[in-house]
Amino acid sequence: MLDDTDLRRPENFINRELSTLNFQRRVLAQARDHRVPLLERVRFLCISCTNLDEFFEVRVAGLRQMYEAGSVQTGPDNLTPGELLTRISEQAHAIVADQYRVFNDELTPELDAKGIRFVRRTDWTAPQRAWLENYAMEEVFPVLSPLALDPAHPFPRIINKSLNFIVELKGKDAFGRHCKHAVVQAPRALPRLIRLPQNECESGPNDFVFLSSVMHEFMDALFPGMKVMGSHQFRATRNSNLYVDEEEVDDLLRALEGELAARRYGDAVRLEVTAECPDELATYLLNEFGLGEEDLYRVDGPVNINRVQAVFDLVEAYDLKYPPFVPGVPANLVTSVSKFSAIKHRDLLLNHPFESFVPVVEFLREAANDPEVVAIKQTLYRTGSGSVVVDALVEAARAGKEVTAVIELRARFDEADNIELANRLTEAGAHLVYGVVGFKTHTKMCLVLRREGGKLKPYCHLGTGNYHASTAKIYTDYSLFTADPEIGEDVNRLFLQLTGLGKFKGMHRLLQSPFMLHDAIIEKIEREISNAEAGRKARIVAKMNALIEAQVIEALYRASRAGVKVDLIVRGVCALRPGIPGLSENISVRSIVGRFLEHSRVYYFENAGEYELYCSSADWMDRNFFGRVEACFPVSRKKLRERIRETLELYLADNQQAWLLQPSGDYVRVTEDEPAKRCSAQDTLLARYATVM
């Protein structure tokens, strides 16, 4: 048995970045799974590619900065930035090679068998080539600007993740100069996948050609009088972190607007080139981007493979996609004259995407038009452009309601959309707050104050996901509607804290970050430990996206030693090692990767048979506990708690889309082939709540 003093041994923790790469492997495995419809497999391949892009743009970029600054700072696993970058390079190279093997050897032949073809240049027919040449001359080349590389034309600035070519040339240009190389950048306005017209070039209905193939084939037209000896695709991934010193700027919105343009030209962190690119050209490019050999990724195909996702929308082959469904709506929300009358009598719960997000939007629209509604307060983290939620808030502000929106401008990769939405709300007369300096506002909550019987009555919506109508169709999340006065007072206090920055002594029901949540979770784990030691019922079930906070992991290790059964459902990053004798043999960790992105956070504590159940916007990460404003809310109504508890058990029984984390840090897929014993949590919930078409 280990002493508690040994809980923080580095070998007890899995590195965050390496765990993230393991998640990308699980996503990529969906592209290989023949139980998944073919075009959905293409989508999963592309998701794994875009996820890896973001991993380099954010996580690897941050590590490189630490390494270049000479930092030897380590996390609980004791890996330095230099050691970690070496391991990431090894594993990321293997993942990229697997991505292209899946595309070339598995998906492309299967798509071809279904009449969906990516036609290679060597296979173009004469009519196809003629049509593509005309397309190149009329649609592509007029917008290209080839850039010669010579003393008067230095290497150009390359936009983050853009498609580019380095061209080898022979001969003299129009001014009689010898030019050996040029760079051609493909504008982002051009589609990366071109559908060949059936009638004009005798093609199949779903024949496609990559833009890169067209540019390769007709590149010589850009350099008349010279000979193109070769052209090679390349793509640079850049640091996409935004750097704004919030303590020093007067206007966060304007500061972020200025930084967004700079993001496209951050320091390079990865270079992709095609497999046939000559070594000397690859080395030249590495030098231009300030990268080393370990940052070079040679790929067997188009460098922008994630653009293949366009085929999903371009091909109307419904048998190759997941069947569509109509999300359900609770009967009392359908039959009630008003959302307020339905919520007034009992708390209501929605399980997205199996149940519709529409009632959330209707709740806001009704509030906007109800003459008895005095004020609406809402947090906005990610809503998407053209948000119907923001439309409702604009409508409410224009109707004379007091509308207060707390918009998190620093929601990574959604900054531009959030700035636009902030401007819309400001123009409509809403009160805008951009969160708290030093803390991201990540909590998802809405408060509507309605005058009833001469008093203001609070109606709240609290969620685990964003107010985003599109992602609500593909992310699993919970929405709770409540008129509980104590929760209403807590939510209002939290809004006052965000807007006025005043201090409040505590909360009635909510657990809040950065002031309460971490201590509360530790205390509840310790309570389970005490119950187990006293022979009372003790169990913890927690579902989240990520688990990396060291003190919580140590508490879970103590719980395991005390005999508490701990079941963790962690979609992505997990730093805890389960199943180690004397440390974590009572802990299991599983990841569910399926049709929908698992996004809900749920915490269950047995509490000696009087179980407590909370939902939250917070993962168990340092940033959520200490660097963000989060809300964790109890689910009190027995029927709703039972629904969520049963759903947790369903995920723990899943043997179709589940992966079990091993003590080594690897994941093993759970498989059950016997039809009578198969269990897919997502499929079961679809059948239970939605209408599958």
Looking at the chain, which residues constitute the CATH 3.30.1840.10 domain(s)?
A: 12-320
Report the pLDDT value the prediction gives residue 72, as an integer from 0 to 100.
81
8 A C-beta contact, residue 631 and residue 515: no
Topology (CATH) of 325-506: Endonuclease; Chain A (3.30.870)
Report the pLDDT value the prediction gives residue 245, as an integer from 0 to 100.
41
Looking at the chain, which residues constitute the CATH 3.30.870.10 domain(s)?
A: 325-506, 513-692
Buried b (16+ CB within 10 A) or exposed e, 474-504: ebbbbbbbbbbeebbbbbbbbbebbbeeeee
pLDDT over 90 percentage in the chain: 76
Report the pLDDT value the prediction gives residue 607, as an integer from 0 to 100.
97
> CA-CA distance, 640 to 618, in Å (whole number)?
20
8 A C-beta contact, residue 263 and residue 160: yes
Residue pointed to by tokens 């509360």:
520
Report the pLDDT value the prediction gives residue 255, as an integer from 0 to 100.
43
Report the pLDDT value the prediction gives residue 3, as an integer from 0 to 100.
58
- Which residue in 624, 568, 569, 571 sits closest to 596, CA to CA? 571
Residue pointed to by tokens 């906007």:
368
Report the pLDDT value the prediction gives residue 253, as an integer from 0 to 100.
47
Spot the catalytic one: 352, 442, 461, 599.
442
Provide the CA 578 distance to its chain's centre, in angstroms.
Answer: 25
Report the pLDDT value the prediction gives residue 252, as an integer from 0 to 100.
45
Report the pLDDT value the prediction gives residue 2, as an integer from 0 to 100.
46
Which ranges in 516-585 belong to alpha helices (H)? 517-533, 550-561
With cut-offs at 50, 70 and 90, classify the pLDDT of residue 651: very high
> CA-CA distance, 401 to 281, in Å (whole number)?
62
pLDDT above 70 for 258: no
Report the pLDDT value the prediction gives residue 413, as an integer from 0 to 100.
58
pLDDT above 80 for 690: yes
Average pLDDT, the chain: 91
Q: Which residues contact 689 (CB under 8 A, 6 or more apart)?
A: 327, 328, 351, 354, 355
> CA-CA distance, 205 to 198, in Å (whole number)?
6
8 A C-beta contact, residue 685 and residue 596: no
Length of the chain: 693
Report the pLDDT value the prediction gives residue 1, as an integer from 0 to 100.
44
pLDDT tens digits for range 524-536: 999 999 999 999 9
SS3 label, residue 436: strand
pLDDT above 90 for 251: no
pLDDT tens digits for range 103-142: 999 999 999 999 999 999 999 999 999 999 999 999 999 9
* Catalytic residue status for 442: yes
Report the pLDDT value the prediction gives residue 243, as an integer from 0 to 100.
44
SS3 label, residue 478: strand
SS3 label, residue 189: coil
Query: Which one has a higher pLDDT value, 253 or 650?
Result: 650
- How open is the CA angle 533-535-539, to the nearest 5 degrees? 80
Report the pLDDT value the prediction gives residue 435, as an integer from 0 to 100.
73
Report the pLDDT value the prediction gives residue 649, as an integer from 0 to 100.
98
Can the peptide bond before residue 581 be classed as cis, meaning omega within 30 degrees of 0?
Answer: no
pLDDT tens digits for range 132-154: 999 999 999 999 989 888 766 78
Report the pLDDT value the prediction gives residue 531, as an integer from 0 to 100.
98
For 65, 439, 446, 452, the CA distances from 425, given in Å and listed in that order, are: 37, 22, 16, 27
* DSSP codes joined into one string, 353-405: TTB-SHHHHHHHHHHHH-TTEEEEEEEES---TT-HHHHHHHHHHHTT-EEEE
β-pairing verdict for 565-570 and 539-544: parallel
- How open is the CA angle 103-658-562, to the nearest 5 degrees? 140
With cut-offs at 50, 70 and 90, classify the pLDDT of residue 304: confident
* DSSP codes joined into one string, 401-434: -EEEEEE-TTSTT-HHHHHHHHHHHHHHT-EEE-
Half-sphere exposure of 251 (CA within 13 A, CB side): 6
Report the pLDDT value the prediction gives residue 126, as an integer from 0 to 100.
95
Residue pointed to by tokens 């962690």:
570
pLDDT above 60 for 264: no
Instruction: Note the CATH number of domain 12-320.
Output: 3.30.1840.10
pLDDT above 80 for 310: yes
pLDDT above 80 for 187: yes
Residue pointed to by tokens 């370990």:
294
Q: Which residues contact 407 (CB under 8 A, 6 or more apart)?
A: 379, 380, 418, 421, 422, 425, 432, 433, 434, 435
Task: Give 3-state DSSP helix, strand, coil % of the chain, rounded to 5.
Answer: 45, 25, 35
pLDDT above 50 for 242: no
Q: Which stretch of DSSP H or E encloses residue 259? A: helix 252-263
8 A C-beta contact, residue 432 and residue 425: yes
Architecture of domain 513-692: 2-Layer Sandwich (3.30)
